[in-house]
Chains A and B, each alone.
Chain A
Amino acid sequence: MSDATSSGQFGAGASDPPATTRTTEVHHFRRMIPIWLVASIAADLIWWFVAGPHVPPGGMSDVAKGAQFDFNVLFLAAAPVTLGVWIYMGYAIWWWRASRPGLPDPVGGPAARGHLKFQVWWIALTTVIVLGAFVFGTVELILPAGAGGGEGPNPVWTPTSKNVLPVQVIAQQWKFTYRYPTFGGMETDTLVLPNNTEVAFHVTSLDVIHSFWAYQIGVKADGNPLVDNVAYAKTRQTGTFTVRCSELCGIWHGAMFDYGKVLSKSSFEKWALTTERKQADNTKYLPPFAWTYSPTANGPTGVTGTNTSGQAGFSKMEHYGATPAKKIVRSQAVGTVTTGTA
């Protein structure tokens, strides 16, 4: 390729053809580049404005929107590269087909020579693309606030909001349940979230390793026994989303899914208060709120007791739902959470 593009001809090398032949050979890149440029711009524009807004996981939360943006940006970068390869391949098949009259002999072996300028450009371009993808991917992987991935019990990338709703996601064979420490510690079978709110998902497990995957919310975090795995997302749209376990966890793993909802703040608070009241008959029997649960607690061995945790309680910003006149009082010893008057 470099021979042809550098000298505008084929058969160049140790036995260069006469100068007259050199001038008659077309400049192939000058043919290909306009085609590639138009095709690339068209593909990118169509993708960005037509397909891009519909790319999963959608825009239901800031991290989901971020994931959608990442897919689209990567497509925008990948499409010109793909089209470049395809257009060159198509051009080469057509132009240098064996049946074309006057086709020069292919160049190879000692007759072939390099093209420094082309090689430098090639290396520079591919380096920029790869390093750009690396930097872009790294930044997007951690922003905003961990980009919806589980960060473990001590998150490094935390949201800027000072009013975060903490929701504990309790995985068990084979159902997720959800506990709301700022709404009286109630536990529910379905995940309901308020819109335009930063949510801290504290994912843990009662038994084996699970993985909490709120698809349209863009959150995916492993649920491990005795681990409080924290992931963040800020809701942006009301609607329904799917929750699945994405870690093979036993015979009914495939049935471990349900549907969550993002409601307006007023609807959420109405739901939360109603549910808190309805659940009161059982909430009073739940063990004190803790960030993790022991698989052996209350198991078939009959070991009874509260689920204790040595981990600290949630941060001061995670108090959505606790009324302004109250403050969160935490017991560092057992991780219990109560509300008290400020």
Chain B
Amino acid sequence: MSRSGRIAIVLGMFAVVVFLVVFAAMSFVATEPQTVKYLTAPSGKPVHLVFQTDGAVGTGAHPTWVSYQTMTPRSHHWVHTTLVQLPAHTMIHVTLYQFDSGSPLRNQQWGRVTGTVGNSATTDGSPFKVINSYKRTVGHTFTIPELGVNVPLLGVDTSKPHFCTAGPCSPSTQLHHTITFSFKTPGPGIYHFQCFIPCGAGHYTGNGGPMQTLGYMGGFLEVMA
């Protein structure tokens, strides 16, 4: 083969490799969940952030995985994502519809409410500061470690009717607990939040799958200036 032919083959193979690398990188980036922006409130006014936690997300690549879902602020649609933008130095009123069943906490330390206004939250309208997870099971937690925010989310009783088996679940028709609490965002930054219950059933010690995948049981609160 001529020298120019060999060079052409090498360059061609190099181009193929570059294409595959770029394709893989773009595919990875493109799989990142959507970001829900809660930045529309007038400056200084509280923001109302709404989540739900489902035992099975019911959509996407892993419909049976447990997951958070986020409501869009204007259209009030449920989006399978855990990427949320919030304004800085703003009171965030969180409503969280908890549709999943529960278990005792692996570490009861996460049974305390911390970092919220008054270090308390409400479940179905009743204020609480701690849950004894050995008596009342906890489905998940909403925890922002860097801000010291932790709220245990009471598990639902699966023996009752209208248990939601696939999300997004309906707060108006399906069995759930409504948890509310408030916290104030700090200055701009990216703060990760996660569930502190190893709820990835079927994975090693419950910590695989949805616990290790962005968009399911952990995400980012991007606090914007």
Contacts and interface: CB of A to CB of B under 8 A. Distances in A.
A187 B106 CA distance: 14
Given A208-B205, A251-B213, A174 B145 contact: yes
B214 A206 contact: no
Candidate in B132, B134, B146, B199 with the most chain A CB atoms within 10 angstroms: B134
Q: How large is the interface on A (under 10, 10 to 19, 20 to 34, 35 or more residues)?
A: 20 to 34
Contact of B134 (A189, A285, A299): A285
B192 interface: yes
Interface string B111-127: 11010000000000000
B107 interface: yes
Contact of A250 (B106, B130, B212): B212
Contacts of B192: 252, 255
Interface in A244-299: 250-252, 255, 258, 279, 281-282, 285-287, 293, 295-299
A107 B137 CA distance: 85
Main secondary structure, interface of A, reads loop
A172 B134 contact: no
A282 B214 contact: no
Contacts of A34: none
B106 A282 contact: no
Interface in B196-213: 196-201, 204-207, 211-213
A181 to B, nearest CB: 14
Contacts of A286: 108-109
Q: How large is the interface on B (under 10, 10 to 19, 20 to 34, 35 or more residues)?
A: 35 or more
Interface string A232-243: 000000000000
A304 B114 contact: no
B180 interface: no
B207 A177 contact: no
A281 B131 CA distance: 10
A252 B213 CA distance: 10
A282 B109 contact: yes
Given A251-B214, A252-B192, A285 B106 contact: no
Contacts of B145: 174-175, 189, 255, 258
B55 to A, nearest CB: 11
A32 B108 CA distance: 68
A5 interface: no
Contacts of B211: 173, 250-251
A300 B109 contact: no
Contacts of A318: none
Contacts of A258: 145
A207 interface: yes
Interface string B79-114: 000000000000000000000000111111101101
B167 interface: no
Contact of B205 (A252, A287, A299, A302): A299
B168 interface: no
Candidate in B104, B106, B196 with the most chain A CB atoms within 10 angstroms: B106
A282 B103 contact: no
Given A189-B148, A206-B106, A304 B198 contact: no
B45 interface: no
Contacts of A251: 211-214, 218
B77 interface: no
B185 interface: no
A305 B56 CA distance: 27
A189 B207 contact: no
A240 to B, nearest CB: 15
Contacts of A298: 103-106, 133
13 contacts: A172-B106, A174-B194, A175-B196, A251-B218, A258-B145, A282-B108, A285-B132, A293-B106, A298-B104, A298-B133, A299-B106, A300-B199, A301-B201
Top-4 shortest CB links A-B:
A300-B206, A295-B205, A298-B104, A300-B201
Given A208-B205, A299-B103, 7 more contacts: A170-B107, A173-B198, A207-B205, A285-B130, A295-B106, A296-B205, A301-B103
Interface of B: 103-109, 111-112, 114, 129-130, 132-134, 143, 145-146, 148, 192, 194, 196-201, 204-207, 211-214, 218
